Amino acid sequence: MTHQPAHTPLRQIVLDTETTGLSAKHGERIIEIACLELIDFKPTGRTLHHYINPQRRCHPEATQVHGITDAFLQDKPTFAELADDILAFVAGATLVIHNAPFDLGFLNAELLHLKRPALQKQIAGVVDTLAIARKNFPNQRNSLDALCARFGVDRSARHFHGALLDAQLLAEVYQRLHKQAAERELLAKLNHPKAPCPLTHHGDWLTHLTGCLPTDARMEVTLVLHYAATAKANPHQHTPQRYSYRVCALDVALSSMPASQCRLIHINAFGGDAPCGQT
């Protein structure tokens, strides 16, 4: 009997800041920070949120964006007073940030004031959702607002930029970006030119399909079956009958797998009605 290696949970921290202005190099400071913990891409409910006295005035233009006034910040702790708590919360995790160079630049400037090592030396890595979005949606707007609109994330409460709300919104956007990437990867494997044909090699097809699926419980598996898109590329290979057969084959393959690990969803990835009556 073989033993599967133990699964190591993936810990990520969605992070956002608000600042007195746009340039840390010109002495602007952090006035708000929020961190939201994800384990295996799911929020745990653990958060860290602080308003910070920047010991300088906010630019009026910045206040118009985040709505945080100098008077409100006067009695708040300084970054120096909060640094240990912030570093302890993010230690060893991968940070998820929208436009990471901006936030990292400010955080590292604050740490430099305290003669502390750069943040990158205290974490596992950084995921920049803006860079991912620009790659996935070139020549389109990829602000947090734009991504919320694109993915149907409710941002009705976002009257101002705020670190905690923005971190919560970004966590939802990041989950959708991750799901989209997983769907594309799996779809590419299922439609690989060397993949067995389900019509002529049923057993080999199910073996191939099962081999494409993750064996751990890091996330529920979402399978994208988009007949319309693949039919355009390979009209002689992707008939409605073959698509229906794939649906049945996937159902059979997943029926013996734990529901907590695999959930079959038939969707049309690019809009319109799901083909072959599948929803």
Pairing relation of β-strands 30-39 and 11-19?
antiparallel
Spatial strand order in the sheet of 30-39? 42-51, 30-39, 11-19, 94-97, 125-128
Helix (H, G, I), strand (E, B) or coil at 107: helix
Per the CB < 8 A criterion, the answer to whether 202 and 215 are in contact is no
C-alpha distances (whole Å) from 261 to each of 207, 244, 256, 269, 277 are 17, 24, 11, 22, 25
Indicate if 161 belongs to the active site.
yes
CA distance 119 to 105: 10
CA distance 40 to 8: 9
HSE-up of residue 118 (Cα within 13 Å, Cβ side): 9
Catalytic residue among 50, 161, 226, 238: 161
Burial class of 245 by CB neighbour count within 10 A (0 to 12, 13 to 18, 19+): middle
Per the CB < 8 A criterion, the answer to whether 51 and 76 are in contact is yes
What are the φ/ψ torsions at residue 213 (nearest 5 degrees)? -90, 145
Nearest Cα to 227, choosing from 197, 183, 187, 199?
187
| Range list of H helices, the chain | 60-66, 70-73, 79-90, 100-113, 129-136, 144-151, 163-190, 202-212, 227-233, 240-255
Catalytic residues: 161
